[in-house]
Copies of this chain bind each other. A is one copy, B any other.
Amino acid sequence: MLTAQGLACLRGDRLLFKNVAFELSAGGLMYVLGENGSGKSSLLRLLCGLLTPEEGAVFWNGQAIGQDAELYQTDLTYIGHLNGLKDDLTALENLQFGARLAGNVVDNVAALKALTAIGVARCANLPVGVLSQGQKRRVALARLWLTRSKLWILDEPFAALDTASVEVLAAQLSAHMVNGGMTIITTHQDVAIQAQSTQTLRLSA
């Protein structure tokens, strides 16, 4: 269970938000909505431990996330605005290294299956640098088919995807929640995702 208490975030001399609090339990989905620049990405990075909150704290199963960072990070998959892919490695290699770094054991077959699931199997052996914007994004998202972590934090996963891929991804997210996973997501698009419980956090600039 992920709990946030009285979070405040200061960027430069701007207070992006304060007193943000929520609780997300197994099977729960949380949308973080708001205009551009309202602090959605900052909140997500804060929940990952990439940023330190100005005030407040984040707890994972009752324990502050900074306390046993490795434990929390095993349970966490974060995909931000940036894809985290190396232009010179192939899609397959990128996916494998990415997943292994996050602690998942992944062989060639599993990785290829993930790429197939999101429809970029044809690009498996191309260096990522030559792929199109949307294909790159899909290679990054393929990690969601390999990870076994409970909490997924996704920053605008649908941006740059074509409509077919949006549906595939939405289905995978729904499946994750059915299996008791949790997802925190930001998006500017309307996409239907099933979850055991859904909540919305709206940030205003």
CA of A130 to CA of B11 in the docked complex: distance in angstroms?
9
Q: Which of B130, B135, B159 is within 8 Å of A160, CB to CB?
A: B159
| A132 interface residue per 8 A CB criterion | yes
| Interface stretch (choices A107-115, A161-169, A177-185, A192-200) | A161-169
| A12 interface residue per 8 A CB criterion | yes
Which residues of chain B have C-beta atoms less than 8 A from A37's C-beta? 120, 123, 131-132, 134-135
Which residues of chain B have C-beta atoms less than 8 A from A123's C-beta? 37
CA of A126 to CA of B38 in the docked complex: distance in angstroms?
15
* Secondary structure of the A contact surface, majority rule: loop
| A83 interface residue per 8 A CB criterion | no
Q: How far is the CB of A91 from chain B (nearest CB, A)?
A: 11
Q: How far is the CB of A154 from chain B (nearest CB, A)?
A: 14
| A81 interface residue per 8 A CB criterion | yes
Q: In the complex, are the beta carbons of B133 and A41 less than 8 A apart?
A: yes
Copy total for this chain: 2
| A100 interface residue per 8 A CB criterion | no
CA of A138 to CA of B34 in the docked complex: distance in angstroms?
15
One digit per residue, 1 when the CB lies within 8 angstroms of any chain B CB and 0 when it does not, for chain A 148-180 equals 000000001001111111100000000000000
CA of A38 to CA of B134 in the docked complex: distance in angstroms?
10
Q: Contacts A36-B138, A138-B36: A161 and B133 contacting too (C-beta < 8 A)?
A: no
Q: Contacts A36-B134, A36-B135, A36-B138: A156 and B160 contacting too (C-beta < 8 A)?
A: yes
